[in-house]
């Protein structure tokens, strides 16, 4: 039986094609769906096993990165998305998708509460758009997406990737519950404790600022050398882990 994945789009989304391709390459039967199709009921989230919210600049980031998209989920799909997670499905938010997840309160999801905002992603410090490759250090986390990943070389492309928490207690809880998934080797945006990605308590929801879908082939990486180019890019590990988890 096919394992279906949905790539959720909104006005301003621009990484849906790459994410769609990555999911297909990993083995999913993927489809691209606009968020309004879920809201009006023409598409049903329950038909899928994985939900991906890709990168881009939804609503132009005019009210803050991911805020409009997050509000659509929070106020129009406030039952569907939490139920989707609690039924054992997977959810990944990349870059703008990560911004959406934190601003909708889906992450960090302490105690299965997917409607409380305790973290955010705001303007880089120092301010400015960052577009370059970074090295991520995998942490001891619950995430099913990162099994066996100790480090990951992937690009970033964002102006609002500065991860901050509501208070010291929230940060301590993220570590205590093994929900910090990735940290930057060199912090490019001022994120608290160099955090680049977090998961929920179940390990089935992942949000990260860097773009694994932009390193799917060995030739993508800037450090590839002639005659030593791997067949597959490091970013594919994320999507293959997701497929293998759901295939069980």
**Structure tokens, 130:** 């960052």
Please choose, from the candidates 65, 72, 106, the residue with its C-alpha nearest in 3D space to the C-alpha of residue 89. Answer: 106
Q: Counting every residue, how long is the chain?
A: 248
Please choose, from the candidates 158, 153, 38, the residue with its C-alpha nearest in 3D space to the C-alpha of residue 94. Answer: 158
Residues with Cβ within 8 Å of 37's Cβ and at least 6 positions away in sequence, in order, are 43
CA angle 82, 86, 89 (to 5 degrees): 100
> CA 45 to CA 38: how far, in whole Å?
7
Give catalytic status of residue 211 as yes or no: yes
Q: At what angle do helices 236-247 and 16-26 cross, to 10 degrees?
A: 50
Choosing from 15, 18, 211, 234, the catalytic residue is 211
Q: Say what the alpha-carbon torsion angle 128, 130, 131, 137 is, to the nearest 10 degrees.
A: 180
Choosing from 18, 160, 213, 234, the catalytic residue is 213
Q: Which residues pair with 12 in a beta bridge?
A: none
Choosing from 18, 95, 158, 234, the catalytic residue is 95
Residues belonging to the active site: 95, 211, 213
């Amino acid at each position: 039986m096919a394992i279906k994945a949905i790539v959720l789009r909104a006005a301003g989304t621009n990484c849906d094609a790459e994410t769609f391709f990555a999911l297909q390459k990993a083995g999913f039967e993927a489809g691209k769906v606009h968020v309004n199709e879920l809201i009006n009921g023409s598409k049903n989230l329950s038909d899928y096993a994985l939900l991906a919210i890709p990168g881009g600049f939804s609503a132009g980031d005019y009210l803050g990165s991911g805020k409009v998209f997050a509000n659509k989920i929070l106020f129009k799909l406030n039952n569907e998305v939490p139920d989707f997670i609690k039924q054992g499905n997977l959810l990944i938010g990349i870059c703008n998708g990560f911004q959406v997840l934190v601003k909708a309160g889906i992450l960090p999801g302490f105690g299965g509460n997917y409607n409380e905002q305790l973290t955010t992603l705001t303007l880089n410090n120092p301010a400015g758009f960052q577009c370059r490759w970074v090295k991520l250090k995998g942490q001891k986390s619950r995430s099913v997406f990162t099994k066996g990943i100790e480090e990951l070389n992937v690009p970033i492309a964002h102006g609002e990737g500065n991860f901050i928490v509501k208070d010291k207690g929230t940060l301590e809880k993220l570590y205590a519950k093994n929900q910090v998934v990735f940290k930057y080797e060199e912090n490019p945006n001022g994120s608290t404790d160099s955090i680049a990605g977090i998961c929920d308590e179940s390990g089935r929801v992942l949000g990260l600022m860097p773009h694994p879908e932009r390193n799917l082939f060995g030739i993508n990486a800037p450090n590839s050398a002639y005659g030593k180019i791997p067949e597959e890019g490091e970013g594919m590990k994320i999507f293959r882990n997701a497929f293998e988890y759901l295939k069980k």
